[in-house]
Amino acid sequence: MKKLPWITCGCFSLSLLLVVSVFGAEKQKPYPHYWMSISTSNQSIPGMPAGVSGIAAIFGGKKLFGPRRDLQLQLESPRVPTGPPKADHEIPPGQKMGASLPLVTPKLEKSEYVRPEQGEKTEKHEKPKARMLIYWGCGETIRKGQPKVIDTSTMSLADFGRAFIGRTPTRQTPPAPRQGWTYSEWPNKDDRTEIPAESSLIGSHIVKGNYTPDILFTLDKKRDFMAPVEFSPLQKTAAGATTVEWKSIPTAIGYFATAIGHNQESGETIFWSASEVPEPGFALQGYLTPGDVTRFIKEKVILDPSKTSCTIPPIFKEGEAGMLQFIAYGEELNLVHPPKPKDPKKLWDIEWSAKVRLKSTAMMPLMAGEGRESSRKGTATKKGNAASESIDDSRTDKDDSAIDKESPAKEIGNRLRGIFGF
């Protein structure tokens, strides 16, 4: 049978169109990515002043408690410089950290592959034994259907893992070292300047280097360091619940809280989240996109930014306090240069992108009023003038015995050891 000419011609035209669309179209070239991760943290003790070194001594560190600001800068670029990589982030005067911060490329050490010996026996891992109780929701009473019990003795390891699955936020992949690209960061081995308490990021920022085009952007009040989370003194209700109140953070777009504790008698681990629906919240304690925050607020998982309090039901026994983790989510800034052209036919040749993300976190043991009472007892036993009411930094940082037996630092340290099992 003779083929019709128009059918042959049509097939050829269609094939040619597909070839042009797949192989002839211009592709976007790789471009540099720059991320600023801005965080504020505040670890506090109810009824105790910030920066009590006695607690730091328990954990072997200094200035463990009190507001702190952190900044992480990460740059990746497809360009490889001919000489040593060099880049700097020029900062506004209000940041009070000099004229610029050096972005240093870390030296990656090659790890040696160790071949396992033939006949080597693999270790047999015993099934972990654990019983966990999951609670959720703000309120003075434990709701019906709670707790959710997770017991390894009655479930498989697969079921055990699935029991902790919660909501999955948008995956964020910050710049990182990779083959064929140049990566740099701050803080680094050359510069770990401490960020002043009065530092501000508001103003013009410029990233310059020999492997990246100039990256210019401006930060406003919504992208400045967030205020620290500040709690009011904890209060116990008649039913044994714990009321947690916090000062509103102006730039927060949502809040989330979890608590963990341990029942010494039963050996059970207790988890709680402020979510109105079952949610362990393990994936919600980091940076979240504003879109995710809005979505989780609608799903009654994250607290609306208008909230300033939450009551934890009576799930922790007296004398066995839990540990509260709290996070305030901040705004985000996403820039691409140049902006996307209005003409869809015009090639969008991106030169660089930048992301700024924010959060403010806090951690605090749930001991309503006990820190204040212990503080009064400790003060009453001390002699001398008012200067002797505080713990001497020069002694407690080095000698745990300097912490008075009746002091809140000693008491809280024992409680924390009980919670975390050390």
SS3 23: helix
pTM: 0.78
Residue 15, in any domain of the structure: no
Euclidean distance between CA atoms 408 and 406, whole angstroms: 7
Residue 408, in any domain of the structure: yes
Q: Which domain holds residue 228?
A: 33-107+128-383+391-420
Residue 242 pLDDT: 94
Which stretches in the chain have pLDDT values below 50?
A: 4-24, 51-62, 370-409, 411-412, 415-422
Residue 128 pLDDT: 63
How does pLDDT run across 97-107, given as a tens digit for each residue? 999 999 999 98
DSSP state, residue 222: G
Identify whether the C-beta of residue 13 lies closer than 8 Å to the C-beta of residue 340.
Answer: no
Residue 311 pLDDT: 97
Residue 63 pLDDT: 53
Per-residue burial over 55-90, b = 16 or more CB atoms within 10 Å of its CB, e = otherwise: bbbbeeeeebbebbbebebbbbbeeeeeeebebbbe
Residue 23 pLDDT: 43
Residue 364, in any domain of the structure: yes
Instruction: Classify strands 309-312 and 323-337 as parallel, antiparallel or unpaired.
Output: unpaired
Identity (one letter) of the amino acid at 122? Answer: T
In whole angstroms, what separates CA 368 from the centre of its chain? 26
Residues 6+ apart with CB under 8 A from 327: 255, 256, 257, 284, 285, 359, 360, 361, 362
Residue 366, in any domain of the structure: yes
Residue 20, in any domain of the structure: no
Residue 121, in any domain of the structure: no
Residue 147, in any domain of the structure: yes
As for how many domains the chain has, the answer is 1
Residues 6+ apart with CB under 8 A from 310: 138, 243, 244, 257, 274, 303
**Sheet architecture: strand order including 235-236:** 235-236, 242-245, 309-312
Identify whether the C-beta of residue 301 lies closer than 8 Å to the C-beta of residue 289.
Answer: no
Residue 329, in any domain of the structure: yes
Instruction: Classify strands 148-151 and 131-136 as parallel, antiparallel or unpaired.
Output: antiparallel
DSSP state, residue 240: S
Output the CA angle 373-42-367, nearest 5 degrees. 30
How does pLDDT run across 146-156, given as a tens digit for each residue? 999 988 877 77
My answer on whether omega of the bond before 92 falls inside 30° of 0, hence cis, is no
